[in-house]
Amino acid sequence: MPELPEVETTCRGIKQYIEGQQLTHVIVRNHKLRWPISSEIKHLKNIKIEQVKRRGKYIIIETQQGAFIIHLGMSGRLNVIMNEPKKEVQKHDHVDFVFNQDIIIRYTDPRRFGSIFWTKTNPLEHFLLEHLGPEPLEKNFTGQYLYKKSQKSRLQIKKFIMDAKIVVGVGNIYANEALFASRILPFRLSNTLRLEECNLLVKNIRTILKTAIKKGGTTLKDFLTPEGQLGYFSQKLLVYGREGKPCIGCGARLSSSRIDNRATVYCNYCQN
């Protein structure tokens, strides 16, 4: 269930192995992802990787001839396989990016909600990326910005901050956490938020994502082993997955509900 911190960790993880390296070819075992993988990819040969970047939850691998745009969906992973050319291919190992020096970047995705695109034009202008809002950790994501946007919308605030056109990278788990930290009820309509609340919300989204990225970083080494896990849930979640358990603020039982059919957990007393 990759959220932005996991995608960032994945980026950092593969970066050190493939930047400047020669991609010899790509093996596509199953092209049926969220969008079908272009058959063009199978014909790529011997391309130098220039840079690995991230935009929102998209991983961008820039090469001398074009760029890969990879989204991990909800169950996707990119694993680094080193010096194990005969490592058994498993059921959901859909794509291998094969490098010389015995390095394979293997895309695994049981639910196939992810996607892999190849583009020869600017990846940031790809139809999936062009409309994306600001990065939550960049300077242009401010309380003032969020306030201005929020006044024009009547979406429930939780859904609003999960909208990639408003800000990228805030998934369900961190939306719950950020609203709890900001003492804002997730049901509030966006246009009822005050500027101070938007300031606080922006600050908390930032802090929570940064902390999570740090935690991801500490498990980076494990992640890179073939059996590696990201240690995703090692982060302390204060509300997500804790419905019915005591609120760490006031001790009351945390409530749960659904917004946009997503699990929503909150404290009826601390948040308003």
Cα distance between residue 95 and residue 106, in whole Å: 6
**Residues 8, 52: contact at Cβ < 8 Å?**
no
Q: Known catalytic residue: 2?
A: yes
Task: Given the residues 55, 57, 77, 106, select the one marked as catalytic.
Answer: 57
Q: Which is nearer to DNA, 24 or 38 (CB)?
A: 38
**Residues 94, 73: contact at Cβ < 8 Å?**
no
Examine residue 57 and tell whether it contacts DNA (CB under 7 A): yes
Task: Given the residues 15, 183, 203, 262, select the one marked as catalytic.
Answer: 262
Examine residue 71 and tell whether it contacts DNA (CB under 7 A): yes
| Choices 38-46, 166-174, 202-210, 223-231; region in contact with DNA by CB under 7 A | 166-174
Q: Which of 27, 98, 164, 195 binds DNA (CB under 7 A)?
A: 164
Q: Which of 5, 133, 171, 186 binds DNA (CB under 7 A)?
A: 171
Q: Which of 113, 145, 187, 269 binds DNA (CB under 7 A)?
A: 113
Q: Which is nearer to DNA, 102 or 138 (CB)?
A: 138
Cα distance between residue 133 and residue 168, in whole Å: 6
Q: Known catalytic residue: 3?
A: yes
Q: Which of 153, 199, 211, 219 binds DNA (CB under 7 A)?
A: 153
Cα distance between residue 222 and residue 233, in whole Å: 14
| Choices 14-22, 138-146, 164-172, 204-212; region in contact with DNA by CB under 7 A | 164-172
Q: Which of 173, 178, 208, 209 binds DNA (CB under 7 A)?
A: 173
Tell me how far, at minimum, the Cβ of 145 lies from DNA, in Å: 16
Q: Known catalytic residue: 188?
A: no
Q: Which of 83, 86, 88, 91 binds DNA (CB under 7 A)?
A: 91
Examine residue 75 and tell whether it contacts DNA (CB under 7 A): yes
Q: Which of 12, 31, 34, 203 binds DNA (CB under 7 A)?
A: 34
Chain residues binding DNA by CB under 7 A are 1-3, 32, 34, 56-58, 71, 73-75, 91-92, 110-113, 128, 152-156, 159, 162, 164, 171-173, 240, 258, 260-263
